[in-house]
A and B are shown apart, each in its own frame.
Chain A
Amino acid sequence: MTYIPISPAERDAMLKTVGVKSLDDLFDAVPAKHRFPKLDLPPALTEMEAAAHLADMASSNENVREHLISFLGAGAYNHYVPSVVDHMLRRGEFYTAYTPYQPEISQGTLQAIFEYQSLMTNLTGMDVSNASHYDGATATAEAVNLAYAQFRGKRRKIVISPTVHPQYREVIRTYSQGMGLEEAGDDPSADLEVGPEALTSLIDENTMLVIVQYPDFFGRIHDYTKLIEDAHAKGSLVCIVANPTALIMLKSPGDMGADIVVGEAQPFGIPLWYGGPYLGFFTTRKSYVHKMAGRLVGETVDNRGQRSYVLTLTAREQHIKRERATSNICTNQGLLALASAVYMSTLGKQGLQEVANLCYQKAHYAAGELSKIDGFGLCFMEPFFHEFVLCTPKPAGEVNQYLLDNGILGGYDLSKDYPALQNHILVAVTEMNSKDEIDTLVEVLKEM
């Protein structure tokens, strides 16, 4: 943190401007007995002691870069981040800029957002992208707000697939409470074997939005074209929550006819950290752009004929809509949007394709080897991308503990969210997992 010193003369000048004689007079409104409450703090440390203490605490963390082999995904993935990403983020021009409300002094930031938007719309097959949200879950909740505004409250039902990320479903419920919405499909006890067509019967004339995930929470790839046609026949919009890495390899949600494509862009140049800050992307079709939260940067020409960037659309924001603003969670994760733009442009089309292909091939190798072990097997038969559900002979918690004892961070324990999946682990494999690591996982599980 920057230390900003103040001289006694400066302090006096400020006090004089405010119109008080001393600091005590300035805080006169606060009763004296409340001014210095006793805080429950440990004794003060020197800087050296504090640094040593923090380093000591940090060393008890185990991370996937140094200590653990990871097969954990479930919405946050261990991918390679080229070093140029961090170097770009740490440039002061980007590092210090807040949300770019002042286009004339933020051309670099605006250009970065413009590039990010362009890359995201290419990836999802949509027309427009906003400048990003907190994370994938809040971006998904914003899709509900878009649909609600589009139908002006005349439709009030959302159909959510039970195979949308459980935490995303929870965030949608949190954000939509009080909106008087009806929810259907969001049932973790539902039959998880059935495909997306099971949702069709839930869509009616009151449905404003259908939300599905691609690949779904269990890693399965569905073609949602038919579901989207059925939803459109009833006048409903469809939102696809997508994994950006998978989109490089798979048919785009835009080609399937989706109206909104959202998701978590963490796989694109953002380390796992401790679950955040992450980056929610939000893309949609041009016809819904006025109902979209956040900011949209456009490219134009200034009065000297130079290429320049401007905030072209901020339809739901406070500075445009005042008290009628409906964008409550639009915060632009500017630095992280920059990280993902740098990631995409550094790898390029071919590099991204190689990442997706490595994820796919390694995950399929792992699934093949794991399912050969006695007592283990694949839970679902559908095609998958880089994540799959493994049935285990023992409760998932026990399996994961055994793996952890052997230096392996196991998969996601599905029993927490799906009562029917007691002995099931969601295993993720990325380009970061070497063949040796996968073989080690198989060996350790064989010995269990």
Chain B
Amino acid sequence: MNAPSNLKYTKSDEWFDPASGAAGITDYAQSQLSDIVFVEILVEEGEDVEVGKPIASVESVKASAEIYSPAAGKVSAVNKGLSDAPETLNTDPFGEGWMIKVEGGAAGEVMDAAEYEKYCEGRSH
């Protein structure tokens, strides 16, 4: 399991980059979902998001999951490429798999990488 140390993490398996405002789903989340076949971003550029508000819907061959915003603020960018290449979430969740960028907002209740790794280990037993 991969969890870059510069990112923050939520209990519902989203990551947030305080430096760039980018957000997405974690490596743990994509591996649990298995092959992701559909991504729908539910918010648009310029829209305000709140912590815990659904920002995207992700479907794998087994399950569908809502993705919640790890931060509050204005959406400054949406990764439109994901709808044509949903598998990017499996291959590069922390890079090309970013979902939205949130501007000028504060993160909600988040963990650092070490805490998140421990949290995930606790769940896999």
Q: Which residues of A contact B (CB under 8 A)?
A: 152, 290, 315, 320-322, 324
Contacts and interface: CB of A to CB of B under 8 A. Distances in A.
Contacts of B62: 320
B42 A321 contact: no
A152 B59 contact: no
A320 B63 contact: yes
Interface in B64-88: 64, 66
B38 A152 contact: no
Contacts of A322: 63-64
A290 B38 contact: yes
B41 to A, nearest CB: 11
A419 to B, nearest CB: 44
Contacts of B40: 290
A322 B66 CA distance: 11
A320 B59 CA distance: 8
Nearest to A317: B64
B68 to A, nearest CB: 13
Contacts of A320: 59, 62-64
Given A152-B42, A315-B38, A320-B62, 13 more contacts: A290-B38, A290-B40, A290-B59, A315-B59, A315-B64, A320-B59, A320-B63, A320-B64, A321-B64, A322-B63, A322-B64, A324-B64, A324-B66
A263 to B, nearest CB: 27
A324 B67 CA distance: 13
A319 to B, nearest CB: 9
Nearest to B40: A290
Contacts of B66: 324
Contacts of B59: 290, 315, 320
* Contact size range, B: under 10
Contacts of A321: 64
A322 B65 CA distance: 9
Contacts of B38: 290, 315
A303 to B, nearest CB: 15
Contacts of B42: 152
12 contacts: A152-B42, A290-B38, A290-B40, A290-B59, A315-B38, A315-B64, A320-B62, A320-B63, A320-B64, A322-B63, A322-B64, A324-B66
Interface string B38-74: 1010100000000000000001001110100000000
Contacts of A324: 64, 66
A133 to B, nearest CB: 21
Interface in B4-50: 38, 40, 42
B111 to A, nearest CB: 25
B29 to A, nearest CB: 16
B65 to A, nearest CB: 9
Contacts of A315: 38, 59, 64
B16 to A, nearest CB: 23
A323 B38 CA distance: 19
Nearest to B62: A320
A25 B64 CA distance: 44
Contacts of A152: 42
A246 B42 CA distance: 39
A300 to B, nearest CB: 12
B25 to A, nearest CB: 17
A187 B62 CA distance: 44
A395 to B, nearest CB: 54
A320 B66 CA distance: 12
A233 to B, nearest CB: 21
B80 to A, nearest CB: 15
A33 B38 CA distance: 56
Most buried by A among B40, B59, B62, B64: B64
B70 to A, nearest CB: 20
Nearest to B63: A320
The 6 nearest A-B residue pairs measured at CB: A321-B64, A320-B64, A290-B38, A320-B63, A315-B59, A152-B42
A295 to B, nearest CB: 14
Contacts of B64: 315, 320-322, 324
A71 B110 CA distance: 69
A290 B38 CA distance: 8
A315 B59 CA distance: 8
A320 B63 CA distance: 4
A222 B40 CA distance: 36
B109 to A, nearest CB: 23
Nearest to B38: A290
B50 to A, nearest CB: 16
A320 B58 CA distance: 11
Interface string B90-101: 000000000000
A21 B80 CA distance: 65
A215 B103 CA distance: 53
